[in-house]
Amino acid sequence: MLAAAGIPLYIHLPRFASVELGIGLAALGSLLLALRVIDLVQDPLIGWTIDRFPKAQNLFALSAAAGLALGFPLLFSITGQGGMLRLTLVLILLFSAYSLGMILLYARSATLAKTPTAPDLMRLAAWREGGMLTGVILAAMLPALLVSLGAAGEGYGAFGWALGGVAVIAAVISYPIWQRPVIKGDKPSLQGLAQAGALKLLLLALVNSLPVAITSTLFLFFVEDRLMLAGQAGPLLVLFFLSAGLSVPLWTRLANRVGGRQALLIAMPLAIGSFVGAAFLAPGQMAGFAVICLASGAALGADMVILPALFSVSLTNAGLNAALAFGVWSFAGKLALALAAFFVLPLLQAAGFQPGQSNAPEALTMLTIAYAVVPCVLKLFALALVLTLPTKEAVA
């Protein structure tokens, strides 16, 4: 349920807003960044509230599901004039519900794990991120699947209603897990987070999220307009996220054996190599890009499972309440997606790029730089940050 309001929303939203609503890429990028100003205050506040009222877990979970159940159908039913205002209001609702659900789920790692120890927290992270990746795969491919089943247009209207239904089902199924008594800790502070190593992990999470945020935002454009692989974006997205999902158990075992830092040092060069390979692809090279999707997807699996688990371990070992800290963590992840949209979408528009139309070589070159070269540079910065992490941590 939660995954659909993350990466898939940034995959589908640019095309939906530009094609269906006639909103420019620069305007959409600015809107997404402006919404992060709300999150800057909202996400830590949500985390504080969850810590402050530990007996209200059911209320928080149901509120998050209700916001998504209402927001998704509203989002993809927007048409006509005034679309920008309605889009803004619905995105505020969606992102608020997403924040509440994500912070609750991640902050309760110690409560939901079998034991609040590093191996069980890593195991919980593997199941959680496996679920997130499954949701990403389904949400990424669902519009195309719905079109094949007879949905109107590009399938976005039916897509919204389907996601709303999933939110209702998820709320019912997950209700029992919020009955567990909360494992509470001390109120986190900057000094406490720094001593636990959590501040460094927060910075790493932000920098490391930027490459995935950029490639997620530009994926449809790169596949359909740069590689000229019309109609292949859906299967390639599935391949990318399926690779990520299948790699999660492997990264979990490796992290428990050699440590999270060492596992990240193996995964990040794989991502860097995939970005380099994408930059040199020629139009029509389906097989080459499929290999890149496999490699970059596997690298994403490591990012998704190891970093949140390391953050949970650092907070648990320091005896800190996790909700407020994961409020900041949630903001860092969404800020990365917003920064990607804010910088690369106006850059493409300035270069003359127009989705779904014939583009000049200069515009396509800029698309290649934004999709492959910029993420490669950012990933190198993230790799440098990983090298500064402690060489030893609690492992199985």
- Does residue 61 lie within any of the structural domains? yes
Q: pLDDT tens, 234-282?
A: 788 888 888 988 898 898 889 888 888 889 999 999 999 999 999 999 9
- Does residue 137 lie within any of the structural domains? yes
- Number of structural domains (the chain) is 1
61 and 117 Cβ atoms separated by less than 8 Å: no
- Does residue 346 lie within any of the structural domains? yes
Q: CA 284 → CA 6, 113, 350, 367, distances in Å?
A: 29, 46, 26, 16
Q: Is the pLDDT of residue 395 over 50?
A: no
The residue whose two tokens read 């998504």 is: 68
CATH number, domain containing residue 217: 1.20.1250.20
Name the residue range of residue 180's domain. 3-386
**pLDDT band, residue 394 (cuts 50/70/90):** very low
- Does residue 197 lie within any of the structural domains? yes
**Whats the size of the chain, residue-wise?**
396
pTM of the predicted model as reported, rounded to 2 decimal places = 0.70
**pLDDT band, residue 396 (cuts 50/70/90):** very low
- Does residue 314 lie within any of the structural domains? yes
Q: pLDDT tens, 184-202?
A: 665 665 666 666 567 788 8
Which among 224, 223, 341 is positioned nearest to 278, based on CA atoms?
223
Q: Which long-range contacts (CB under 8 A, 24 or more apart) does 285-290 make?
A: 285/227, 286/227, 286/229, 286/232, 289/223, 289/227, 289/229, 289/236, 290/236, 290/239
- Does residue 204 lie within any of the structural domains? yes
**pLDDT band, residue 324 (cuts 50/70/90):** low
Q: What angle, 0 to 180 degrees and rounded to 10, lies between the N-to-C axes of helices 57-75 and 83-107?
A: 150
13 and 159 Cβ atoms separated by less than 8 Å: no
- Does residue 21 lie within any of the structural domains? yes
Q: 186 - beta bridge partners?
A: 320
The residue whose two tokens read 């997807």 is: 297
DSSP track, 228-292: --TT-HHHHHHHHHHHHHHHHHHHHHHHHHH-HHHHHHHHHHHHHHHHHHHHTPPTT-HHHHHHH
Q: Is the pLDDT of residue 111 over 90?
A: no
Give the DSSP letter of residue 396: -
- Does residue 393 lie within any of the structural domains? no
